[in-house]
Structure 1
Amino acid sequence: MNQTAIRFFGLGLGPGHPDYMTVRARKVLETADRLAHFCKRGKRGNARTIADAVVGADPEREIALVYPVTTEIPADHPDYAAALKPFYEASAEMLLAEIEAGRTVALLCEGDPFFYGSFMHLWWRLKDKVPTEVVPAISGMSGAWTRAGTPITWGDDVLTVAPGTLSEAELTRRLSGTDAAVVMKLGRNLPKVRRALAAAGLLDRAIYVERATMAEERIVQLADLPETVEAPYFSLVLVPGQGRRV
């Protein structure tokens, strides 16, 4: 790959603590003409917050891509796609205009850009139009099981990664047939996830991790977590495998 030709970067910044950012990510952060990031209205994006340790606020460099909807609309509701599709299309056109004007654009991503990332919706729209590089990163789940001090797989363990947005029946089915698991996208799905883990016989092994590697990190056995707790965006559940140990 001719690095000098790259105009659009999907920039993975890691699980949260800036020390887990790669050398490549830091270089792109420091040199890109524009730093784009997704955010909720009136708030800074999570990825932009991670980048604070490397680059301070610079209005001339920053492009905030403000989500038109959040978790108030369920992901499987027709209104969700109806709102997000034009948002992604408009965002892609905005970034394309910057690139065609001769500027390099880095779209900041918490975790890894190709793992449940909003970046992928813009990558899919721009990858055949502009030279693109995706900068990989330590994923949020990797940061979580490392900070929890629990190996996630041993020997021939099979790992299942499931979004908490699945139906309770589907979550139970998938969790019942695996050795180890990571359940992402908790939020208001946490009670449903807890019930599915109990039905699959995995609740006693489940570990709740919130804001892994960040200052507000919280790690607790899920069975000990009060049912009144509301899970934030940066949270997941780990079910460590129990396979062969030599």
Structure 2
Amino acid sequence: MSSTTASTTGGRLHGIGVGPGDPELMTLKAVRLLRDCPVVAYFCRRGGRGQARAIAEAHIPADATELPLVYPVTTELPHGEAAYRERIETFFDESAEAVAAHLAAGHDVAVLNEGDPFYYGSFMHLQLRLQGRHPVSVTPGVTSTMAAAAPLPRPLVMRDDILHVVPGTLPTADLRRALAGGDALAIMKVGTNLPRIAELLDEQGLTPRAWYVEAASGEGERVLPLSEVERSPAPYFTQILIPGTGERR
């Protein structure tokens, strides 16, 4: 667990990693902290309760105050557009203040996060805004990458392999360079970027080693060689993994 100290009193903000999908992959510490927190916050889309809450549902106390943090946009606007960035930054500002109100009242707040809070997690946006104002603790969780690697027929990394974690949302030129860099690759945020990513992997001769993993450890998990997957947009919780060979490239 990592923590930061604060100069003010009040409740403690807990960023809790609930793992990638399978509720049994939650840590004992995550379960204990969640059961002890009077306020439970989680990010979700409009009309839903969010993946993190679904994973942790069995451990949320019946008398807990729930604080859904509802994204104003998800896929409606391209992430690179100024309008998207402005709306999402305002949302995180407002979410941080909603959480801060409970902290100022002396209540601990558990913020649920799929996987690990500091591994592309939304919790980090609250932590960056609230550290220094309130005590903050982070409880790590099993990452989606490790869950996606578990069903593969070979280790993700071995010996002196270098693992590169690559966001599939990168511009094409940057993505091409990133894919050329590691002995093993974990490509995140695949989703609608799958056709473009697959084309670049073909170009670099990496497709025969590539695995497609959808909904790692969760219901509907699919694990296939990338060569057997249709080149069309994939569901949001999809990754492509390319295990290392143990022999440096």
SS of alignment partner, residue 9 of structure 1: strand
Q: Which deviates more, 89-98 or 168-177?
A: 168-177
Query: In structure 2, what residue type is equivalent to 1:34?
Result: V
Using the TM superposition, give the Cα deviation of residue 59 of structure 1 relative to its aligned residue in structure 2, in angstroms: 7.8
2:158 pairs with one of 130, 154, 159: 154
Q: Tell me, yes or no, if structure 1 residue 25 matches structure 2 residue 30.
A: yes
Output the CA distance in 1 between the equivalents of 2:209 and 2:58: 35
Q: Tell me, yes or no, if structure 1 residue 242 matches structure 2 residue 245.
A: yes
Q: Tell me, yes or no, if structure 1 residue 87 matches structure 2 residue 91.
A: yes
TM-score by length of 2: 0.92
TM-score by length of 1: 0.93
Residue of structure 2 in register with 1:45 after alignment: 50
SS of alignment partner, residue 182 of structure 2: coil
Residue of structure 2 in register with 1:97 after alignment: 101
Residue of structure 1 in register with 2:41 after alignment: 36
Query: In structure 1, what residue type is equivalent to 2:150?
Result: T
**Do 1:158 and 1:179's aligned partners in 2 also have CA atoms closer than 8 Å?**
yes
Root-mean-square deviation (Å): 2.0
Using the TM superposition, give the Cα deviation of residue 80 of structure 1 relative to its aligned residue in structure 2, in angstroms: 1.2
Number of aligned residue pairs: give it: 242
1:203 pairs with one of 207, 214, 219: 207
Aligned-residue sequence identity (percent) comes to: 43
Unaligned runs of 5+ in 2: none
SS of alignment partner, residue 202 of structure 2: helix
Moved segments of 4+, more than 4 Å? none
Output the CA distance in 1 between the equivalents of 2:151 and 2:60: 26
Q: Which deviates more, 63-72 or 5-14?
A: 5-14
Output the CA distance in 1 between the equivalents of 2:40 and 2:66: 5
- Report 1:1-246 matches (<5 A): 7-55=12-60, 58=62, 61-228=65-232, 230-244=233-247
**Do 1:25 and 1:135's aligned partners in 2 also have CA atoms closer than 8 Å?**
yes
Using the TM superposition, give the Cα deviation of residue 168 of structure 1 relative to its aligned residue in structure 2, in angstroms: 1.9
